[in-house]
Structure 1
Amino acid sequence: MFNLYNFDDDEQKVKTQRPRSADQPGVFQAQTGDPAAEEWSQWSVCSLTCGQGWQVRTRSCVSSPYGTLCSGPLRETRLCNNTATCPGEPQHQAVEGQWLDWASWSRCSVSCGTGTQQRQRRCSVSVHGWAECKGPHSETRECTNRPCDGGGNWGAWNQWSLCSKTCDSGWQRRFRMCEGTGIQNYPCDGSGEEVRSCNDKKCPAPHEICKDEYQGLMTWKRASAGETVYNKCPSNATGSASRRCLLDANGVAYWGPPSFARCISLEYRYLHLSLREHLAKGQRTLAGEGMSQIVRSLLELMSRHSYYSGDLLFSVEILRNVTDTFKRATYIPAPDDVQKFFQIVSLMLDMDNLQKWEDAHQVSPGAMLLMRVVEDFIHLIGEAQKPFQSFLAVTTNLIINIQREPVSAVSSDINFPMKGRRGMKDWARSAEDKLFIPKEVFSLSSDESDEASYFVIGAILYRTLGFILPPPKDPLVISSKILSVTVRPLPKPTEPVVVVELAPLLNGTSQPQCVVWDHTNP
């Protein structure tokens, strides 16, 4: 899959905020919860009636085998001991366990003179009736350091205390104990206390502090400039909201807008629970029909235009789960549900959500992840189409065309979008953007031709995605619509002549460049 858009240099500097993740950049963090699972069964009867045996208990995951939400062990084993002594039958005799390797020796107990070191080892006991290992679990030996200077030995330092002040330079202390006296009955040399400075930053002036503020049924507590304050999400959502205290050009503190990128509305939570219940039905047809119901319900929620930025990220995860379940269950949704799927994507990419996406991208690159989900869904639909059949979806914010062509004979060149087709939106009909792929491009090596019978070709024209994606580095801006093409299997043309025309959307830019982003070739 490759995506095309225009970059323009713009002398005007644009403040940008790059997406970041708390754990790893580019890693999605929507909270999906653990899969539903039945309670553990009772422990089985001990495997041996005498000596040492084992017991087993199991549980079942109620998720469908075609879902992606199951995790954790389904079987546990533990040892059991019977007080009765076994007769001399070899197969029921307890077998001695096996020692693992010794661990490294510990540090010497003293810093000077003669002390001791210890090391330990673990016993590996089999579940098949093996006994404990024979021998000691630990060993001790003497260790000799430099001679003590007539005094005792210092123990290890304890932890540093809390700082005495939160700003304007405070102090921390830590202590150590003198362990006994030396050969001449002298105490330890040196001090048993250390002091260091801490929190050297200057205390904020009154004008550099954001005061308590009540906004949107939430109270934001006083904070210094640069600090981020966390709060519970509103009562109709779960998760945590955050807000940062900022400084303006005059050095006066003010509250930035609250972030709801980690807030998920209860209705979206309930929809995810419903998704898990459909997976628990355990049958392909039922699971597939359940996913179609999830699509219809999600479209209804999105149509209300009342959700948090975290709901956008969570909806990307729901659509991914739906697509994966359709794929695993080999279930193809009805054409009406396919249209609803793309309508959801269009609603998510509406310009009214621009600020929500900017907020969400502080947590995860959700818009880019949504592009991957759309690509996977396109190939799911394309694989089910008949040869030479095409599918067109036209929405307010994107156009999708899907074709299935025989590898041996692609019927015609690819022209996208076809403005004269019925049902085309005005914005698409008047667009000057164009994609042309000659049919000669679709060629495979002889080995790949034997393995693959059809090409699935998907083309998407995104009307608003260029404004919604995380912005590039200054002074670059995305100044056109985004055109995305995905082909499986990937062709290997000898002369890949692909024509792309993208009309600029922004005035006052200079030095336009056509940028190709191929996420299949990192």
Structure 2
Amino acid sequence: MGDPALVLSTLCLLATSAGATVGRCFSGVNTRLGVCTDLIGDGIEEHDCCLNINYCFQAGHNGNSQPCRHAAEWTDWSAWSGCTVSCREGVQQRRRRCYGKGSCRGDEVLQTRPCTDRDCCIDNGGWSGWAGWSACSVTCASGQQQRQRTCSQPPPSCGGQCPGSGLEHRHCDTQQICPIHGSWSLWGSWTACGQSCRQERSRLVPVRRRTRVCNSPAPSTFPPGNSCTGGSMDTNQCNFLPFCPVAGNWGSWSAVSLCSTTCGIGKIQQQRRCDSPAPKHGGTACPGNANSNIHCNTKIACPGTRRTVRCISGESHSTSVTSFRGSSRRCRTAYRATMFQTASEAGPARWRTLRWQSLFPQPPPSPLAAISTSQVVVNR
């Protein structure tokens, strides 16, 4: 098949045959509505348009649509129209058309059937008379009154209603002054806690307070208004405070220990602990010592040791020592010394001065001073 545009141009150039029907040619047809669609051109003979039996021809601008098929056909039935009435029984219709060459079989173009959208029709009611006005909504100053009427004369049916409102309001004035009821002001600031710390494990916790005043507004005197409800003071425990420092305190001394030696001079000890209570939360430690030492005297000479009293005389460069046991004898010299003598297996005996006793008021000679601060080697 050739180019459609070329074919159309050729058709437009052809002379119109005498007596031929000229109109508009379409390439399609709506079978449901029986009308031509998709216009190809105007001023085309019916014979030329219908060279394609799928085309549709329309004589003039307002002529009937004539599909180029050889036999006439009915269009499909249209959809049913809406019911002719909104309540009780009405009718609805649908249509079809005959299109094509010739006549269609049958002559039924229109169908009708009964329909009912609603079984009853809406019937509005009528209002009763207005009732009396109610009491004023307030007992002082200005308020509202209302009155009512009912949709009952007659009552509506089938979903009907009465037009308008069944309630009416109006302003009322009691000519009375209203009392002013009290209301609290905002809470003031919290006071200080009274203490800077709290005792650990104590039920007595420092508290802080705040107050408010019944003046926002204050209750009226005449007519008397209600006072504020609730308290004017609020308290709060200061649980956020740190624990107070606890200073340490000594516990009891322990039992006295035994003497540290079984002969001669020793020491005994006592101990105590800083736990009554122990220092806590930055508290000070216990003063003093945790240990106590006291000397003890067994009055028993240790093995290998003897006590000797010696009489010493001499001058600055020589010293003579006379020894004897015990202290019953008298020294003829000016001084005597009480000394320990320690036995030694190797070498001479070693002496250590315990106490000097002056028999006269003069100071001891220098050799004696040396003896008092050092050990002296004495020949046996």
Q: Same fold (TM over 0.5)?
A: no
Return the structure number with greater helix share.
1
What is the TM-score normalised by the length of structure 1?
Answer: 0.14
Higher CA-based Rg: 2
What is the TM-score normalised by the length of structure 2?
Answer: 0.17
